[in-house]
Amino acid sequence: MDPHLRRIYLTAAAIALAASAVSLAWRDSRVTFGVVAGVAVTVVPFATWHWIVGHTGERRARRKPLVLAVVVVKYAVLAGAMWLLFRYRLVNPYGFGAGLAAGPMAVLGALTVKPGKD
């Protein structure tokens, strides 16, 4: 795996862990679960996109239907998961929103760091 992508994923995981630890102050598991779910919904598309692009390679024209199917299924699963989380009130909406904000911060933060310049 590309070291830069690894840095993005590890940064997202670290921010998810930190945000979850901070959310424990509310003493409500729905807030913590909301933060974790929000980060997961944000980071999963980036992580799976790396796999999709890696498997298309040089044969992109022939694999377009496969890539399209994988992307549609991926987003359908994410939408279904979000529906279940909110339908059965498993997550706090504010915690979920905080997680949605933490995910892009992790990705953008990791993208601004130049590889090899630690």
pLDDT digits 0-9 by tens, 63-96:
778 778 888 998 899 999 999 999 999 999 998 9
- Count CA within 13 A, CB hemisphere, residue 43: 25
Q: Is the pLDDT of residue 98 over 80?
A: yes
Provide mean pLDDT across the span 53-66: 70
Of the two residues 42 and 110, the one the predictor is more confident about is 42
Tokens for 100?
Answer: 């949605």
- Domain extent at residue 12: 3-112
Number of domains in the chain: 1
Tell me, yes or no, whether 96 lies in a domain: yes
Tell me the pLDDT tens digit for each residue of 36-52.
888 888 877 777 777 77
Residues 6+ apart with CB under 8 A from 70: 48, 52
Tell me if 117 is assigned to some domain.
no
Cα 9 from Cα 44, distance rounded (Å): 10
Distance of alpha carbon 26 from alpha carbon 11, whole angstroms = 24
Q: Please tell me the pTM assigned to this model.
A: 0.73
Closest CA to 9 of 115, 95, 111, 81: 111
> Is residue 7 situated within a structural domain?
yes
**Cα 46 to Cα 5: distance, rounded to the nearest angstrom:** 9
The answer to whether 15 touches 110, Cβ cutoff 8 Å, is: no
3-state secondary structure at position 91: coil
Asked, for residue 29, whether it belongs to a domain, the answer is: yes
Mean pLDDT, the chain, rounded, equals 79
Q: Residue 24: what pLDDT?
A: 82
In this structure, is residue 94 part of a structural domain? yes
